[in-house]
Amino acid sequence: MGGSMFVAPEINYVALLPMIIVFVGGLVGVTVEGFASRRTRYAVQVPLSVATLVLALVALILLGQDNQGLTAADTVALDGVALTLQGLVLVLSILGLLAMSERFGGDQPDAFTQSGVSTPGSAEETLATKVGATTTEIYPLTLMSVGGMMLFVAANDLLLLFVALEILSLPLYVLSGLARRRRLLSQEASLKYFLLGSFSSAFYLFGAVLLYGYAGSMRFADIAAAITSGVGMDGLLVPGVLLVAVGLLFKVGAVPFHAWTPDVYQGAPTPVTGFMAACTKVAAFGAMLRVLYVAVEGARLEWQPVIAVVAALSMVVGALLSIVQTDVKRILAYSSIAHAGFILTGVVALDVAGVSSTMFYLATYGFMTIPAFAIVALVRSAGTEATLVDQWAGLGRRSPWIAACFTFLLMALAGIPLTSGFTGKFAVFSAAVSQGWAWLAVIGVLASAVTAYIYFTLVVQMWLGDEAGDTVVVRPSWMTSVAILVGVAMTLALGIMPSPVLDLAQSTAAFLR
């Protein structure tokens, strides 16, 4: 130990401004929760949160370009990848937040319970409903989570990555448990997500410690340097990499760490599921790209086969298991598992095309998932969400526009040409093929065929099935409509004219090391 004094690191606050805005917005939201009256909270929180996200996005666009670089003692890397993914997280979270705010003419966000901590069916719950309690804490929680996601894709240090992981995860655990209807399911989802998430985080930490032991540093650049020069402690390297990967693979819901996905996607409030599915994937894959491409790229021979097998398993299991699902939300959950596999196919490629195709796929997936879940939230039967496939029968005749949007999104999820799903799949598969992973692409295509089957069953039910008794489509307010329309429009645009976004992804696909 040298006797050198601790030197305060240089921090480029301008570059960090978008994240700072989001975190400050979250804190202001907490304050509003404390001081605003019940009646006014919703009216304050919604504009506040949306404005925060928009402001952060504006800051990112205006300042990001010229303030790239490593900062905060090289623990934060604001490079093209980080900025692009941060922007994507922001855009998607704006859509997600709008969908969450849907009230359907009521006084509070429709999907959320009025007293999260009370036992379902208890006196406390009744009381909370009677006095008109609101669950506007979802706004600061969401903002915090978004801030964590933005940090997650920029973290250049294992410890900071962990901090970001927890910042983004903890609010999600809470949000998952706040569904207004089927609350026990929701609370079970929250608990499962939390317990399994904690375990994965523990594995991540264990892996990070092993890597620290290996390289003597948590910085990605130092780890990469240690791998290149070889420090003679290889026994720690590979277990460390694999355990870190476990933590990240859990977040994206890849097989065999996928088991929480269906339960949590089903139990969580539907708009939260959409937000979670879209934004968490972006953040987690962003972090995974950075860890794998920057920090441990030198050990690729050890981890590439593992990731490839995980990708293949995710695609196959996600596709096969979705066949027998009878619940729309669970179908989408298994589809998200399969999509995690598709994205991993791009990650495995390990070249610039791998990065750009992964980022592009994340964008396409995000823009099709949020509106899909927003639509699920609209289909009601007897006051609750009608998520059974049978209940969707004949929806096309009753609400042709909503059914048409959903059909289109399903086609995108299946990867039919002229939707973004096709261009995205094409991008990741061609990246994988060009690096010699053709067998993965083949499995991917076959898995797509299987998923297409289940989507078409759903489409057939919607358009050709006998009308189900009391299923109705609630008329959405402008907020849900915007979320759906923007998502559908982006899905179409990325399918027909993907060039601008692909250009962006390719021009920003280089990591700062």
Partner 1 sequence: MVLTFIGMHLLAAVLAGPLVRTLGRRGFAVLALVPAGTAAWVATALLGPVRVERTGWVGELGLELSFRLDTLAVVMSLIVSGIGALVLLYCAAYIDPRSTAGSPRLLGGALVGFAGAMLGLVTTDDLLLLYVFWEITTILSYLLVGYLTTSAVSTRAARQALLVTAAGGLTMLVGLVLLGEGAGTYRISELVAGPGASGAAVAWGVGLLLVGAVTKSALVPFHFWLPGAMAAPTPVSAYLHAAAMVKAGVYLVARFAPGYADLPVWQVMVLVLGSATMLLGGFRATRQTDLKLLLAYGTVSQLGMLVLLVGYGSEAAALAGLTLLVGHALFKSSLFLATGAIDHATGTRDIRRLHGVGRAAPWLALAGVLAAMSMAGLPVLIGFVGKEAALAALLEPAPGWLSLQGVAAASFVAGSVLTVAYSLRYVVGAFGPGSPGGGSAPGAGSGAHSWHAPGPLLVGIPLALALGGLALGVTSTALEEVLARHTSTVSLLPGPEVHLGLWHGLSLPLLVSVCVWVLGALWWWRTRDPERATAPLVRVDAGRAYDRLMRGVDRAALESTGFLSRGSLPVLLGTIFVVLLVLPGLQLALGGTTWPSRLRLADSAAQVAVALLVIAAAVLATRARRRLRAVFLVGVTGYGCAMLFLLHGAPDLALTQILVETVSLVVLVLVLRRLSGRFPDDPSVLTRRLRAALGAGVGLVVGLLAVVATSSRIHEPAGAGLPERSVDYGAGKNIVNVILVDIRAWDTMGELSVVLACATGVASLVWLREEALEGVRKGLRSARGARAGWRARPVPTDTGSLPTSRWIAVADRLDPERRSVILEIVTRMVFHTILLWSVYLLLAGHNQPGGGFAAGIVAGLALCLRFLAGRGYELGAALPVMPAAVLGTGLFIAAGSAVIPMLLGSPALRTWDAYLTIPLVGEVHLVTSLLFDLGVYLVVIGLMLDVLRSLGSGLDAQIATERETAGRGTR
DSSP 3-state of 7: coil
Which DSSP string corresponds to 147-199? HHHHHHHHB-BHHHHHHHHHHHHHHHHHHHT-BSSSHHHHHHHHHHHHHHHHH
Cα 78 from chain centre: 20
Could you tell me the smallest distance in angstroms from the CB atom of residue 200 to partner 1?
7
- Nearer to partner 1 by Cβ, of 382 and 464: the residue is 464
Cβ 356 to partner 1 shortest distance, Å? 8
Nearer to partner 1, 191 or 512 (CB): 191
Q: Smallest gap, in angstroms, from Cβ of residue 457 to partner 1? A: 8
Backbone φ/ψ region at 342: left (φ over 0), alpha (ψ -120 to 50), beta: alpha
- Output 67 or 430, the one with its CB closest to partner 1: 430
The burial class, CB within 10 Å (0-12 / 13-18 / 19+), for 435 is middle
CB within 8 Å of 508: residues ≥ 6 apart = 79, 80, 81, 83, 84, 356, 359
Q: How many CB atoms lie within 10 A of CB 215?
A: 26
Name the residue nearer to partner 1 (CB basis): 382 or 438.
438
User: Nearest distance from residue 232's CB to partner 1, in Å?
Assistant: 7
At its nearest, how many Å lie between partner 1 and the CB of residue 53?
Answer: 25
> Smallest distance, Å, CB 163 to partner 1?
11
Nearest alpha carbon to residue 367 among 488, 226, 231, 474: 488
Alpha helix positions (H), 377-414? 395-398, 400-414
Burial call 403-432: b when 16+ CB within 10 Å, e when fewer: bebbbbbbbbbbbbeebbbbbbbbbbbebb
Write down the least CB distance from residue 29 to partner 1, Å: 17
Q: How many CB atoms lie within 10 A of CB 254?
A: 28
> Which residue number, 104 or 426, has a Cβ lying nearer to partner 1?
426
The residue (of 195 and 382) whose beta carbon lies closer to partner 1 is 195
Measured from the CB of residue 244, what is the shortest distance to partner 1 in angstroms?
11
In whole angstroms, how close is the CB of 80 to partner 1 at the nearest point?
A: 15
Cβ nearer to partner 1, comparing 408 with 511:
408
Distance in angstroms between the alpha carbons of the first and the last residue of the chain: 27
**275 or 455: whose CB is closer to partner 1?**
455
CA separation for the pair 505, 355 (Å, rounded) = 8
Q: Could you tell me which residues come within 8 angstroms of residue 438 by beta carbon, excluding any fewer than 6 positions away?
A: 432
Cα separation, 342 vs 365, in Å, equals 11
Least Å distance, CB 254 to partner 1, is 11
Residue 230 tokens, joined: 């070889």
Closer residue to partner 1 in complex, CB, 55/185:
185
Question: For partner 1, which is the closer residue by CB, 265 or 511?
Answer: 265
